[in-house]
Structure 1
């Protein structure tokens, strides 16, 4: 198995552990046991438990970013359509991952490495939102980015309620779309 294929297998196994038993059960030793490899192999790929959790979190984010970018590739849409596209892609990704994405992020709270990763991923998401919404907003670029920081925070809260079963996906999409439209001071 190639190194890349092994890493993918380890991440899939790690996600299965988180889904079945929660993030507290995920250790490099247990991952090695479940994946049928030696402990040094898991350490070679991730170094630490935090490194493994960060890799899982990055994988979730990469899929979310890909879905957002693919959804936004169609040009010539009105603001309402763009807001719905963003909201649908965002919530669909979180729905597909279920509560595991939030559980992984929660398991890394207070970890310095994770704090830096979360800031980078947040900045990327904010940038995607701001780029997509800029043609529809009266706000200066800096002000729009600041608004998008708040909107992304609201999107996270909505997705958390959705993945916990407190809100249907359709309602999460509608609420996020409404926040996107009203929150950017539309033209």
Structure 2
């Protein structure tokens, strides 16, 4: 693609490049994303792409963070609109999590491409902490557990969610089965003395 003379601010250009990177991964997989292919598809010179990301791992890391932020933002919005109640909050978390897992397959592809990268491991811990804090904050009003105990359970629940998402993406479970499984796991992770009513949505037993 020929380079474009359109002038954007540095931040706007970075956003444009990351949008283009998402499109490349979606159509060609993570292996098809390099700084050269990014520059070509975005219509910019190669030095511009290198100036923003320096290396291919740098590009992949920036893209992973961008996709993860979108994922968490979607869950945050869903929780903001949720009807109060343990069952409903658990269902909303589960539904939003798997909607993002299927709507943004690029996140898994980029994560796999970065496997073994030391910087990625540090970012993974940071992002995991963010997810766990989000879940624990949403569930705390419905749990009799101490905050730290609930947070530790959320660590395990997030691991379970990732495993179920893998089954979902391998077409070994349906969306409904995945949501039901994670919803029930979340509810079973709350203190037994708490009212853990199941949501009334189809496929989830009262």
* Smaller-chain TM-score bracket: over 0.9
Structure 1 residue 135: deviation in Å? Answer: 1.5
Q: What residue in structure 1 maps to residue 176 of structure 2?
A: 170
Q: Distance in 2 between matches of 1:75 and 1:156?
A: 22
Q: Distance in 1 between matches of 2:158 and 2:29?
A: 25
Q: What residue in structure 2 maps to residue 115 of structure 1?
A: 121
How many residue pairs get aligned? The number is 186
- 1:69-102 alpha-carbon deviations (Å, 9 max, x no partner): 112224761110010011111111112113x211
Greater than 4 Å deviation, 4+ residue runs: none
Q: Distance in 2 between matches of 1:165 and 1:17?
A: 23
Gaps of 5+ in 1: none
Q: What residue in structure 2 maps to residue 47 of structure 1?
A: 54
> What TM-score comes out, normalization by structure 2 length?
0.84
Q: 1:47 to 1:133 in 2, by over 3 A?
A: same
The answer to which structure has the higher helix fraction is 1
Does residue 33 of structure 2 align to residue 26 of structure 1? yes
- Please give the residue correspondences for 1:64-83 in structure 2 after superposition, counting only pairs within 5 Å: 64-74=71-81, 77-83=84-90
Q: What residue in structure 1 maps to residue 43 of structure 2?
A: 36
Q: What residue in structure 2 maps to residue 90 of structure 1?
A: 97
Gaps of 5+ in 2: 1-7, 195-206
- Please give the residue correspondences for 1:12-23 in structure 2 after superposition, counting only pairs within 5 Å: 12-23=19-30
**Rg comparison, structure with higher value:** 2
User: Contact 2:164–2:178 at 8 Å: present in 1 too?
Assistant: yes
Structure 1 residue 164: deviation in Å? Answer: 3.0
Q: Distance in 1 between matches of 2:60 and 2:127?
A: 14
Q: What residue in structure 2 maps to residue 124 of structure 1?
A: 130
